[in-house]
Amino acid sequence: MEKALGTVIQGSLSQGLEVRLNPDISVEDMRVGKFLVVQGVRSRFFCLLTDVCLGTSNPRITANPPNPNDTLLQQILAGSGTYGTIELSPMLMLTQREDTTELPPSKTVNDTSLASFTPQTNSNLQLLPVKTIPSHFSQVYDASEQDFRLVFGWEDDPIHCNFAIGQPLDMDVPVCLDLERFVERSNGVFGKSGTGKSFLTRLLISGIIRKQAAVNLMFDMHSEYGWEAINEGKQFSTVKGLRQLFPGQVEIYTLDPDSTRRRGVKDAQELFLSLDQIEIEDLRLVSYELGLSEASLDNANILQAEFGQSWISQLLNMTNEDIQIFCDQKQGHKGSIMALQRKLTRLSNLKYLKSVCPHNYIKRILESIDAGKHVVIEFGSQSNLLSYMLATNMITRRIHKAYVEKAEKFLQSKKITDRPRQLVITIEEAHRFLDPSVVHQTIFGTIAREMRKYFVTLLIVDQRPSGIDHEVMSQIGTRITCLLNDDKDIDAIFTGVSGGQNLRSVLAKLDSKQQALILGHAVPMPVVVRTRPYDQKFYTEIGETIWQELSDEQVFAAAQNALNDLEF
């Protein structure tokens, strides 16, 4: 028998419900972010706890409170003179179709087909957005395991592509994302530094790989997704990267082969770019890092029109006299061109940039993606913002162009064999690419606005969501947010979210580690979770055969055993 926690005493659809707790329920057991249900007359409402309050029936009690040692008087007042209230924000309602009989109580609903992400759960019951509220004196209950199954499904669902991202704060029940819906749109992982964004991102990408929901391209700024990463804590330890979890499905490309070899990464492929692959749009994105003015970029267009793709190499080799002659002939500005030449010399410090490349490395990446391989691009020592933004933009522009061509071919042929694989591109420091001043000129702003038009979406990882253009934030499908303190960042998270004001207090009260608020396209309702641990148990549950390092003695013993078996 379910135990009622309290009674709905007032509320509204826009402001939420006010619930008075029963006398035997301690207000200290109510935590912001808790998942509760309200049993109405015809519907069962799934709600999120957004605030906890204390109330009194008489102002004289607060004016003359009982002595702290007078426990008897405190017990007499508890529940009548003093009481606790909670604020609930209704998110979903399980209701009966109009042509069926009365909705049974939740404890009698035992049809396992209900446990899915589908809005219409079966022929008799519907899981719908909230359009009304329960009546006065409706009873409030703790959410049961079955309630979570009804709303969030289960990971082994044969119909839906579900992945368990974590558990509720006070229960041992998985909370699942629908990965098919997740990869349909661009998504974000947000949180201030040190809250575990990288671990969350590895969890998500591991789930996408395991469930084959999409193929991934990860721009690994700090080289922590590919092979292994340092685990935060007092004692030094490492966690496995995606290549160790999925050795047959993940390939690592490196822009700094020396750094990659020093870290003992297995089978990483070198990746180089050439100066003739840099376009004006690539330079515009890093104009702040290079100190380029609009006049310099205008003159870069003149140089490109004259020399074509080799314009940067030509410019770097020009003398002052050559520049003067060029300006006289082509009406360029000598000062701007000389400043452009001086500032572009910084590109020579980037290890991965060559004058000419012997191979088209971006084509190799595309071939890996077409083959269903997940690609991690490591930067090693080339992880400064100039290097990261330039390489990421250059590679993404060309991959997106190839995907546009593939999508157009598919739309023309309608053949399923021509359908491009859904691609998820992961970028860190996303506000640098999606800043309002440059977002309309970068490929990342284009991808975010296109949604899945060309089968390419973004997974953006950032600690400053307020730095991302509002139009782009409104297009983010699913937002997985760890603790944020800045009011501007919190406001940015709820851009375009209905009822976001009710969730502000939930986000502000998260723990600094291993807690996140999830809302958006991939979950039926907002939910606070303890994120799934990224540990040995997870490796066993999620990965392929784990890549193990064997000593020479172990290798020799294995070979000897194999020979003995052959002789036998």
Same domain for 123 and 236, yes or no, is no
Q: Which domain holds residue 16?
A: 4-153
Number of structural domains the chain divides into: 3
Q: Any bridge partners for residue 21, and if so which?
A: 6
Last residue of a domain, one of 349, 380, 412: 349
Same domain for 239 and 361, yes or no, is yes
Q: Helices 361-370 and 385-413 sit at what angle, rounded to 10 degrees?
A: 50
Contacts of 517 (CB under 8 A, 6+ apart): 33, 479, 480, 481, 503, 506, 507, 510, 526, 527, 528
Is the torsion defined by CA of 381, 383, 387, 388 positive or negative?
A: positive
For 172-193, letters b (16+ CB in 10 Å) and e give ebbbbbbbbbbbbbbbbbbbee
Q: What is the C-alpha to C-alpha distance for residues 419 and 204, in angstroms, rounded to an integer? A: 24
pTM above 0.85, yes or no: no
Same domain for 62 and 182, yes or no, is no
Same domain for 337 and 382, yes or no, is no
Tell me, yes or no, whether 172 lies in a domain.
Answer: no
Tell me, yes or no, whether 557 lies in a domain.
Answer: no
361 closest CA partner among 249, 268, 456, 274: 274
Same domain for 267 and 280, yes or no, is no
Element (H, E) at 426: strand 423-428
What pLDDT score was predicted for residue 561?
A: 54
Tell me, yes or no, whether 564 lies in a domain.
Answer: no
Same domain for 368 and 500, yes or no, is yes
Same domain for 105 and 182, yes or no, is no
What pLDDT score was predicted for residue 566?
A: 41
Is the torsion defined by CA of 115, 116, 117, 121 positive or negative?
A: negative
Same domain for 204 and 311, yes or no, is no
Same domain for 101 and 194, yes or no, is no
> Which regions in the chain score pLDDT beneath 70?
1, 79, 97-125, 233-234, 451, 499, 543-568
SS3 content of the chain, % helix, strand, coil (to 5): 40, 25, 35
Same domain for 390 and 461, yes or no, is yes
Which region holds residue 429: left if phi is over 0, alpha if psi is between -120 and 50, else beta?
left
Q: What is the C-alpha to C-alpha distance for residues 278 and 248, in angstroms, rounded to an integer? A: 33
Contacts of 335 (CB under 8 A, 6+ apart): none
Q: What is the C-alpha to C-alpha distance for residues 24 and 22, in angstroms, rounded to an integer? A: 6
Same domain for 47 and 141, yes or no, is yes
Tell me, yes or no, whether 552 lies in a domain.
Answer: no
- R_g (Cα) of the chain, nearest Å: 29
Last residue of a domain, one of 317, 349, 381: 349
The CATH number that applies at residue 186 is 3.40.50.300
Tell me, yes or no, whether 323 lies in a domain.
Answer: yes
Tell me, yes or no, whether 215 lies in a domain.
Answer: yes
Same domain for 131 and 144, yes or no, is yes
